[in-house]
């Protein structure tokens, strides 16, 4: 609730005098507080965002209280509430002022922090380079995804082809084995029939010889002259 009231006070009183402070990208900056108070708030205003309370500074050697832990790496306080900004980037640009912690609120003269023209160009260049790198990375990622998809598709086609070859080969091998078994069975049946036929032929020859022998004997008996009894 107190922080909300503080922000409202800032919005009401932010029309105080503003002084410009030029700095370079990556520089360290010190901003003075012209309030003679035991405790002050350091506030950053970046339009159109609401005011951001950075820290609470004390006149005693007590360490400042940071309202966000991430501010510890960027902001620090020196003697008489002087605010130190380390390694300035575009995120730290804005209007800074200190404000007392008691009522009625008193607001110091504000300091507008911004880059010099060369630093601004450097920041824009760096931002452009970062965007270009991000675009290239995105394009490479898309290309890699496409290549990966094509390789996976080709691999699937090869695997399917190998499976088909394997299945067709097994089927042909099975058919050949069945045909071979059928041929062997037919050959065995043919050999059996041939054996039977040969055996039958031998029997018929014996039969003809027997028949011929009996016929010859009959003819011989008929032609033989009869015997006369003496």
CATH of the domain at 27: 2.60.40.10
Report which of residues 16 and 79 the model is more confident about: 79
Q: How confident is the model at residue 95 (pLDDT cuts 50, 70, 90)?
A: very high
Is residue 139 included in any domain, yes or no? no
Q: Domain for residue 165, yes or no?
A: no
Using the predicted structure, report yes or no on whether residue 5 has a pLDDT greater than 70: no
Most confident of 73-82, 108-117, 118-127, 187-196: 73-82
Query: Can you give the pLDDT at residue 175?
Result: 79
Specify the pTM. Answer: 0.49
**Number of domains, the chain:** 1
Domain of 59 in residue numbering reads as 2-115
- Sorted by sequence, the CB contacts under 8 Å of residue 122 that are 6+ apart come out as 25
In a domain, 143, yes or no: no
* Residue 200 pLDDT exceeds 70: no
Whether 6 has a pLDDT exceeding 80, the answer reads no
**Residue 121 falls within a domain, yes or no?**
no
Closest alpha carbon to 87 in 20, 29, 155, 130: 29
Is residue 177 one of the residues assigned to a domain? no
Residue 95 included in any domain: yes
| DSSP state letters, 101-118 | SSSS--BPPEEEEEE-HH
Q: Does a structural domain hold residue 74?
A: yes
The per-residue pLDDT for 57 is 93
Average pLDDT over residues 181-197: 71
Region 100-109: what's the mean pLDDT?
Answer: 85
Looking at the DSSP assignment, which residues form a beta bridge with residue 95? 45, 112
- Does the pLDDT value for residue 28 go beyond 80? yes
| 136 pLDDT higher than 80 | no
> 161 burial class (0-12, 13-18, 19+ CB within 10 angstroms)?
exposed
Average pLDDT over residues 77-96: 92
* pLDDT for 140: 81
* Structural domain contains residue 100: yes
**Contact present, 111 and 97 (Cβ < 8 Å):** yes
Q: Lowest-confidence range among 26-35, 103-112, 147-156, 213-222?
A: 213-222
Who has greater pLDDT, 124 or 63?
Answer: 63
């Amino acid at each position: 609730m107190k922080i909300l009231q503080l922000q409202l006070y800032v919005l009401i009183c932010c029309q105080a005098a503003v002084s410009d402070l030029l700095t370079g990208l990556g520089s360290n900056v010190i901003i003075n507080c012209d309030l003679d108070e035991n405790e002050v708030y350091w506030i950053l205003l970046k339009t159109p965002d609401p005011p951001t309370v950075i820290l609470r500074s004390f006149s005693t050697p007590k360490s400042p209280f940071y309202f966000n832990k991430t501010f510890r790496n960027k902001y620090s306080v020196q003697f008489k509430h002087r605010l130190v900004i380390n390694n300035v980037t575009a995120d730290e640009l804005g209007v800074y002022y200190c404000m007392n912690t008691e009522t009625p609120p008193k607001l110091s003269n504000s300091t507008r922090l911004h880059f010099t023209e060369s630093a601004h160009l450097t920041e824009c260049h760096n931002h452009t380079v970062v965007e270009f790198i991000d675009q290239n990375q995105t394009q490479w990622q898309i290309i890699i995804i496409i290549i990966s998809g094509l390789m996976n598709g080709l691999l699937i086609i090869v695997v399917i082809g190998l499976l088909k070859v394997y299945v067709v080969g097994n089927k042909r091998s099975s058919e050949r084995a069945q045909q071979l078994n059928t041929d062997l069975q037919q050959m065995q049946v043919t050999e059996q029939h041939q054996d039977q036929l040969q055996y039958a032929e031998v029997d018929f020859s014996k039969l003809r010889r027997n028949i011929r022998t009996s016929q010859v004997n009959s003819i011989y008996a008929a032609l033989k002259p009869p015997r006369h009894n003496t």
